């Protein structure tokens, strides 16, 4: 499962960003973590910031395509799958969990310099509830 918006601790609705273009010739997948680089959305990378979560169907962008992205704001909570063998510190309270390659999952083995704080971990289903900690746009 990709990153899916769950709720906001202040009972706010998700904030959509629709006025930033996608990087040309890039495939975007629902729930993918994104960042803005040179004024365009592209997949977030390990040890980087998160600007938002892609909220549309899988497609490959053209040179002038705008996409819908849920902004990663304070208090927003997301549910995400995690991959890899969990580091001993991959627990509730960890403040720097990282994303896996492609931006669709958390990398449980990497808990240094990541963009996500962990609220809870469901080891039976390899899912975690996370909040964006290292945000780009807020």
How do the domains of the chain map onto residue ranges?
A: 11-71, 76-132
* 42 pLDDT above the threshold of 90: yes
Q: How far is CA 41 from CA 61, 79, 86, in A?
A: 10, 21, 29
Rounded to whole angstroms, the Cα distance separating 127 from 120 reads: 9
Q: Provide the pLDDT confidence category of residue 31 given band limits of 50, 70 and 90.
A: very high
- Record the pTM: 0.93
Residue 42 dihedral angles phi and psi, to the nearest 5°: -150, 170
Give residue 18's pLDDT band: very low, low, confident or very high (50, 70, 90): very high
Q: Is the pLDDT of residue 86 over 80?
A: yes
pLDDT at 138: 76
Nearest to 100 by CA among 87, 113, 91, 109: 109
Scan for tokens 């997301």, then name that residue. 78
Q: How far apart are CA 70 and CA 39, in angstroms?
A: 17
Q: Over the stretch 56-75, which tens digit does the pLDDT of each residue have?
A: 999 999 999 999 999 999 99
Rounded CA separation 137/28 (Å): 19
Confidence of residue 77 (pLDDT cuts 50, 70, 90): very high
Residues in the chain: 138
> In percent, how much of the chain has pLDDT > 90?
96
> Does the pLDDT at position 115 exceed 90?
yes
- Residue 1: band (very low, low, confident or very high) from pLDDT cuts 50, 70, 90: confident
């Amino acid at each position: 499962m990709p990153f899916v918006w769950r709720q906001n601790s202040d009972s706010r609705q998700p904030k959509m960003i629709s006025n930033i273009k996608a990087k040309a010739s890039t495939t975007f997948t629902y729930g993918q973590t994104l960042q803005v680089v040179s004024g365009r959305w592209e997949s977030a990378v390990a040890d980087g910031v998160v600007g938002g979560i892609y909220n549309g169907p899988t497609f490959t962008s053209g040179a002038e395509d705008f996409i819908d992205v849920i902004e990663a704001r304070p208090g927003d909570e997301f549910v995400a799958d995690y991959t890899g063998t969990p580091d001993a510190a991959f627990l509730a309270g960890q403040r720097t969990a990282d994303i896996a390659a492609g931006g669709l999952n958390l990398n449980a083995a990497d808990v240094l310099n990541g963009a996500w704080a962990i609220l809870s971990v469901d080891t039976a289903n390899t899912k975690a509830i996370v909040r964006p900690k290292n945000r780009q746009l807020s």
